Amino acid sequence: MIKVRFSASRPAGAHCLILPVAKSGLDGASLPGDASVLRAAAKAARFEGEAGSSFEQHIGHEAGAQRLVLLGTGAGSAEDLEKAGGALSAKLLTSGEIEATLDVSGLSASAEAVARMAAAAALRSWRYDTYRTKLPEAQKPTLRDLVIVGAPEGMDAAWAHYSALVQGVALTRELVTEPANVIYPETFVERCQRLKDAGVEIEVLGEAEMRAAGMGALLGVAQGSVREPKLLVMRWDGTNGAQQKPVVFVGKGVTFDTGGISLKPPAGMEDMKWDMGGAGAVAGAMLALAGRKAKAHVVGVCGLVENMPDGNAQRPGDVVTSMSGQTIEVINTDAEGRLVLCDAMTWVQKRFQPEYMVDLATLTGAMIISLGHEYGGLFANDDGLADKLTAAGKAVGDPLWRFPIGPAYDKLIDSPIADMKNVGPREGGSITAAQFLQRFVDEGVKWAHLDIAGMVWASKPGAVWDKGATGFGVRLLDRFVADNFEG
């Protein structure tokens, strides 16, 4: 991932120079060299300054030829600048350039908007080539540094926030991208030990502690694997005790999901390494919040298990007793995420008595059928909380779409032999999954469930990610905290 730094003047040398150009602003843009020729060439290439578009030309320089990139910034909104920052990285990452200078001195934008643009450039450059030993030279990243010149006042504070976000998203992507033989409950916890350096308190419950607590639902999922389950608890209090009740985030961390005895089809099963995307988002958000010293009290909990089909695996028809005391008939062992979440939710409510609790999970394929890969699904028992999460998602580019819950859906998961079953009928599958989780929300707790099954992994590049792990949820949770729980 490229490093971003700021300078008062352009560095010496023939490094790539990037100049922002607003939509339809080419004629008024300040350009080096023969500006009239450059404008004519750009117009001939149909460059009009649309956000994320670019025009490239080499110009003369005392140290040799210099690559000049005109970067479209559209109307100059924060969203347009983010798109431009991502496009910058996509264009130059493997270009052979080692350092690039982005001169924003002519850009009428706030420090926050420029920081968001810089963060987009860093995020779009994120790659995970650890296991690629024969990558052709032309495909290897070369760009290492992005120097931003002419940034507005307040840049230090703005970048401190966004650079922490970049690190949080990078952690999430790393966790989601690693294969399941590398990231499993124990090693997920090990990767998150770095949060201690940022001031996060970490507590880990193993199988014995969870059994003593009565987490029969979570342990039922884990019993088919040789990997020991873990409950990872991360606590950041930037209020020095002023906020008694923390905001709680709970993440589904199924580090690999075969479906258990209700085995998934082989085609595409390799994707289930990212079935811990909710837990990954929670870990990344906690790193981001601590990294920027958020003035809020936040607890993140990750229920970490592997769902495997060995001779000790739970069977369809088994009945398990959750930590809450409610019993569950397991109809489908591939509906395992809700069994993990329900015990994690019960534990964190008993321990911290939160007023707000948000869970994140790659919970249902039905959510992808409903929303594709454009929105995460949102379910909530409180309109105010739903509105706050929706607003936060819209502001940062992690969009959510709200779905209904209610008694008509809830009765669909009643069981004839237990308190409930872990799946309902085929129709409304995402909704009945949310209804299941709602049964484990304590009275008075404002709760939201984010089904992000379609959002944690992308088959095509986006504004701030390449193909692969997106880091969805980190920026959303950070903005949700910043807007609602920090003074």
Residues in CB range of 391: below 8 A, 6 or more apart: 483
Residue 479 annotated among the catalytic residues of the structure: no
Contact indicator for 61, 75 with CB cutoff of 8 Å:
no
Taking alpha carbons only, the member of 58, 63, 80, 62 closest to residue 71 is 80
Q: How far is CA 174 from CA 136, 412, 461, in A?
A: 23, 38, 17
Alpha-carbon distance 256 to 265, whole Å?
Answer: 14
Token pair 């964190």: residue: 348
Taking alpha carbons only, the member of 452, 448, 402 closest to residue 280 is 452
Residue 293 annotated among the catalytic residues of the structure: no
Token pair 């996509």: residue: 90
Identify the three-state secondary structure at position 57.
strand
Q: What angle do CA 278, 340, 343 make, to 5 degrees?
A: 115
From the candidates 338, 388, 475, 479, give the one annotated as an active-site residue.
Answer: 338
Contact indicator for 384, 391 with CB cutoff of 8 Å:
no
Identify the three-state secondary structure at position 215.
coil
Alpha-carbon distance 191 to 186, whole Å?
Answer: 9
From the candidates 144, 211, 264, 351, give the one annotated as an active-site residue.
Answer: 264
368: exposed, middle or buried (C-beta count within 10 Å: 0-12, 13-18, 19+)?
middle
Cα dihedral 197, 249, 218, 424 sign = negative
Q: How far is CA 38 from CA 22, 26, 85, 148, in A?
A: 16, 10, 22, 22
Both tokens of residue 237? Answer: 């209090």
Enumerate the active-site residues. 264, 338
